């Protein structure tokens, strides 16, 4: 199936010589990768600053403490890079007069999710940290982690637009869909070995999204997504 400017001048209390955004971003990139591999408790601040090539005081200046840095990494992924609020907000903008339109939107969403999380150029730690964060911090502990609830809009969408389904059935369906996505995130090496691939590329992710979209709509009694229509929208 084939479906420019110079360095900014900073206040004297800033501990690094790098521009504000460069220092902050270097810390986020280093911390995010470490948090994804080792978790919040398993990662030390000194380890982060060594990886980032900055100072201990810079973490305190930009993020206050390690938990603040962790939450900043989550916000960076979900809001600045993946735009999960915007992605799942798309569900509210469509016209759903037919079951085919509902199926096509679901196909579009799974394509967008896989490409956003696993596509070429996306750091591996993005998806891993999103999964791990549920173990490290309760989703309701901050507004940043509440963004992890955005995918649940998909469950509400199904309940609204696919008649005759119970809430418990849709909850089972939703958990299974999310589990599939998480498997491709957390078991990347196993998937690559199974398909004899060197890396996730766009063609493989497109095929995967087509397969997942067809299976997830079939279970709901919907027609298969029109993959050509979905591709035109991407």
* pLDDT for position 217: 96
Q: Which two tokens stand for residue 143?
A: 């507004």
* Whether the domain at 21-73 and the domain at 82-232 fall into the same CATH topology: no
Q: Which of 3.40.50.300, 1.20.1530.20, 1.10.10.60, 1.10.10.10 would CATH assign to domain 21-73?
A: 1.10.10.60
What is the CA 218 to chain-centroid distance, rounded?
25
Fold for domain 82-232? Tetracycline Repressor; domain 2 (1.10.357)
CA–CA dist 98, 2 (Å, integer): 25
**Residue ranges in the chain modelled with pLDDT below 50:** 4-18
* pLDDT for position 94: 83
* pLDDT for position 81: 81
- What residue spans define the domains of the chain? 21-73, 82-232
Residues 6 or more apart whose Cβ sits within 8 Å of residue 211: 1
CA–CA dist 113, 100 (Å, integer): 20
* pLDDT for position 136: 80
Q: Which two tokens stand for residue 94?
A: 């469509």
Q: Which two tokens stand for residue 108?
A: 């579009």
pTM here? 0.82
CA–CA dist 185, 190 (Å, integer): 10
């Amino acid at each position: 199936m084939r479906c420019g400017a110079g360095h900014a001048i900073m206040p004297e209390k800033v501990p690094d010589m790098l521009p504000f955004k460069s220092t902050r971003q270097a810390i986020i990139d280093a911390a995010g990768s470490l948090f994804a591999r080792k978790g919040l408790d398993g990662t030390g601040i000194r380890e982060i600053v060594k990886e980032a090539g900055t100072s201990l005081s810079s973490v305190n200046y930009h993020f206050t403490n390690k938990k603040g840095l962790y939450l900043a990494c989550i916000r960076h992924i979900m809001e600045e890079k993946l735009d999960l609020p915007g992605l799942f907000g798309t569900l509210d903008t469509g016209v759903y007069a037919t079951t085919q339109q509902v199926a096509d939107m679901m196909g579009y969403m799974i394509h967008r999710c896989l490409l956003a999380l696993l596509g070429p150029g996306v750091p591996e730690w993005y998806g891993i940290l999103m999964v791990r964060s549920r173990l490290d911090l309760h989703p309701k502990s901050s507004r940043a982690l509440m963004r992890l609830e955005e995918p649940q809009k998909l469950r509400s969408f199904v309940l609204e637009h696919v008649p005759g389904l119970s809430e418990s059935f849709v909850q089972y369906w939703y958990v299974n869909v999310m589990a599939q996505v998480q498997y491709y995130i957390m078991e990347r090496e196993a998937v690559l070995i199974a398909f004899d691939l060197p890396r996730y590329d766009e063609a493989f992710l497109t095929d995967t999204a087509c397969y997942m979209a067809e299976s997830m709509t079939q279970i709901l009694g919907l027609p298969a997504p029109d993959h050509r229509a979905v591709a035109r929208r991407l």
